[in-house]
Structures are given as C-alpha cells and as structure tokens.
Amino acid sequence: MPNDFIIVNDLVKEAHFDIKYYGKDNFVGTPVDGYDAPLCVLQKRAAEGLVKASNAALKEGYRLKILDCYRPQRAVSHFVRWASNLADTVTKTHYYPNIPKSTLLGPYIAEKSGHSRGATLDVTLEKRSAENTWEPVDMGTPFDFFDPLSHTVNSEVGESVLQNRQRLIRYMQAGNFVNYELEWWHFSQQEQVYPNTYFDFPLQLTTDNTR
C-alpha cells in the first residue's frame, strides 16, 4: 500500500462501514478477490474529504454508510470473469432483474475502475431515529442495482427518494466529491493524486498498513 493511502475505518469513527465485497452480500454472491479484510482504504486527500462529508451529514442527524472504497484491480478482474459466466445467475433477482446478464459487461462492469485509483467510494445514508438508533435511508434501489432506476436523477423513484439522493450529494460535495450520474451511490474526488494509476494491492491487515 502506498504511503499516502490511509485505512479510513478508524479515521471516520462515526460512519458505518459495511464493505460489501468482503462478504457474500454483493452481486457476485461470494467474497471478491483482494478483499482479505473489511477495510475502507483511500488516498489521503480523499480520506480527508470523507471526514468533511461525514461531519456535514452528522450535523443534520445523518451518518454515512460506507459500502466500498479502494478496489484492487484483481477485484475488477473478478467482476469481469463473473459477468462473462452467463450460466451463473444466482444474484439476478436482487441485482439485475430487468436486464440479461449478457448486457452487464461494458455499461455496468468495466475492465478498469476509478475505485482502483484510491479516490472513489460507494456510500449511502443512515438517519438517527427518535429512539437514537440508526435507520437506513430510502434511496430507491439497493447498492449495485444494475438498472436505470439507479440513475441519480431518475424521477421514477419518487420525489422523496430524489431528495434523499440530493442530500447525499450535498454531504459528499462538502468533501469535494462528485457523483457519477448513473449510480446514486458512486462518488469520486474532483482532484485526484493518481488520475491514471490503477493499483492492485490487496485489502489486508498487516503491521505495515495499520497507520
């Protein structure tokens, strides 16, 4: 891991970290290559921006739920292999019910990902309830739902969902993140340190990366 990459889990203590590709609760249906620990790792500038975004959310009674951060290239290659295996449709009902799996490569799954540059993350919101518990905010679709309903400004999801998506955008903008218009959960730093580099170090806890 480069020296300017940071494990964010302990940096943004108020956030809820639910790293989806570490477990089976994802569109592949299995743990993904390179996710040997449930870590959110980001390049330092993006990590500092995430702190600002988290603080903006907390001021209004919300908190960030982090679903994915830096993604090793080997994980992206795992996605491509999965998408190429048309016989495996175990997760279709939950993640791509309205389109054939043969259409995922290209529009939804690419051979390179901005996540591998260390300045992109996937995130949603939770709201503090009257009972002082954290409850999920309705974003209209699940994370990684391959469908036009996941487009950030798709009016078919309803006005209240659109307001929730815009609220998330506003919080992330406080950290200099910009939304990817086809995925309401996907945000990237506007000014990246490694705009053309795709890293492949695995996510794992070692004595060298506990900083």
User: Which active-site residues does the annotation give?
Assistant: 183
User: Is 115 assigned a ligand-binding role in the annotation?
Assistant: yes
Q: What number of CA atoms fall less than 13 Å from residue 168's CA on the CB side? A: 29
Question: What does DSSP say about strands 120-128 and 62-68: parallel, antiparallel, or unpaired?
Answer: antiparallel
User: Is 33 assigned a ligand-binding role in the annotation?
Assistant: no
Which SS3 state, helix, strand or coil, does residue 174 take?
coil
* HEC secondary structure over 86-132: CCCCCCHHHHCCCCCHHHCECCCECCCCHHHHCCEEEEEEEEECCCC
User: Is 78 assigned a ligand-binding role in the annotation?
Assistant: no
Residue ranges of the binding site for Zn(2+): 115, 122, 186
Residue ranges of the binding site: 115, 122, 186
